[in-house]
Amino acid sequence: MANGNMAAPSKEEINTQNKLEFSLNVPFPSTREASIALRSLLPDREPRKGGITKKMAISGSTLCVRWTADEARILRVSVGSFMEHLTLVMETMEAFGPPVLL
């Protein structure tokens, strides 16, 4: 009891201690293109009810994605699936050219 603080860790601290995390930042030419990619990828929710979370946001013209998982296998499958969808979105955006302002 060197520091005198022997409080038990909270549930939140326990839950985050053994989690695996992976972050991915994908730069786009513009904020509009990053937003299009985000909206295209949002409908793809994680099929599992537990064990993994995925959060996506835009920072300037960068799509930021962060996963938190209980197991490496679940994280690998989720990231792999996301990368396939992201590739399809980027190839589609490239095929149609830059977005036109309406």
What is the domain count for the chain? 1
CATH, residue 91: 3.30.310.50
Instruction: Tokens for 74, please give them.
Output: 């679940």
Kind of pairing, strands 62-69 and 52-59? antiparallel
Whether 5 maps to a domain, the answer reads no
Whether 14 maps to a domain, the answer reads no
Whether 36 maps to a domain, the answer reads yes
Q: Provide the domain limits for residue 74.
A: 19-96
- Residue 2's pLDDT is what? 47
- Residue 101's pLDDT is what? 72
Instruction: Tokens for 95, please give them.
Output: 């095929």
Whether 64 maps to a domain, the answer reads yes
89 SS3 class: helix
- Residue 45's pLDDT is what? 66
The partner residues of 59 in beta bridges, in order of sequence, read 62
- Residue 89's pLDDT is what? 96
pLDDT band for position 85 (cuts 50, 70, 90): very high
* CA 49 vs CA 16, 45, 53, 92, 100: distances in Å: 17, 10, 9, 30, 38
Contact indicator for 40, 63 with CB cutoff of 8 Å: no
Instruction: Tokens for 48, please give them.
Output: 């599992």
Whether 72 maps to a domain, the answer reads yes
- Give the integer Cα–Cα distance in Å for 76 and 85: 14
Whether 88 maps to a domain, the answer reads yes
Whether 92 maps to a domain, the answer reads yes
Whether 1 maps to a domain, the answer reads no
